[in-house]
Amino acid sequence: MTTIGRFLSCFAAPLVLLGLSWCAFDLSNVHSSTGLALSIKVKSVKYCRGDAELFTVHLNLRLRYKNQADHPIIVHAGDPIIGHVRISRNMADARAGRFEVDSSADILTAGESPAPLGSAPDKRFVILKPGETFGFDSFAAIVARRDTSPLIAGTIPPGEHVLQVVVNTWPFSDLDPEKARSLWFRFGELHSDPVASEPVPLTIHQNPEWADCSE
């Protein structure tokens, strides 16, 4: 296993292991400018000491959906699943889709089948009226290299960067979103495609205060 692979498996994997069965999400329909907007705020940063070349950065995030449409939007309200973490050098690169790192996660979801869809959205979903928001907490991990380390694919150097995440809004591999959309159309528009957040600044310190990341 490569150095970067070892770090990703040791530090990033525990952040996305949610159950027993593997599920890969199709991110080909990612939206960042639809009726459902996603904003992100970095609440706190934890630096985990690595080796002579690499260290990991754990990000506690606050994410918020906002309905920018002129009609209600239905969206999953459970624990958010971040499918991609994207890092750019600056805002212009982020908005142009140029990323230093565009890391995807292999997500493990609960093994049992989810409850079937009913005639109306249940407590797993929230209906946002135009202008309403819904906030939730999540976390992500990135791998950084020390300032004197050579370029290593999948890592970023210390300094100023821009962060985006892509959230999978339909985490049910055994349920058909088109069926839900047809059942619930009178309540609002179901959003089931992945959604990308607006980019935000992210600073990675060269000489950080190391945290205890043993747990």
* Predicted confidence (pLDDT) per residue in 144-158, tens digit: 998 877 888 899 999
Please answer whether residues 37 and 201 qualify as being in contact, where contact means their C-beta atoms are separated by less than 8 angstroms.
no
- Lowest mean pLDDT segment, chosen from 111-115, 122-126, 136-140: 111-115
Length of the chain: 215
For 120-180, give the secondary structure using H, E and C.
CCCCCEEEECCCCEEEEEEEEEEEEECCCCCCCCCCECCEEEEEEEEEECCCCCCCCHHHH
Q: Which of 10-24, 35-49, 127-141, 197-211 has the lowest mean pLDDT?
A: 10-24
Phi (first) and psi of residue 146, to 5 degrees:
-70, 155
State yes or no: pLDDT of 113 exceeds 80.
no
Closest to 169 in 3D by CA, of 65, 71, 68: 65
Confidence check: pLDDT of 16 > 70 = no
pLDDT in tens, 155-172: 999 999 999 999 999 989
The rounded distance, in Å, linking the Cα atoms of 151 and 173 is 37
How confident is the model at residue 34, as a pLDDT? 63
| The predicted structure's pLDDT at residue 15 | 38
State the average pLDDT over residues 23-49.
72
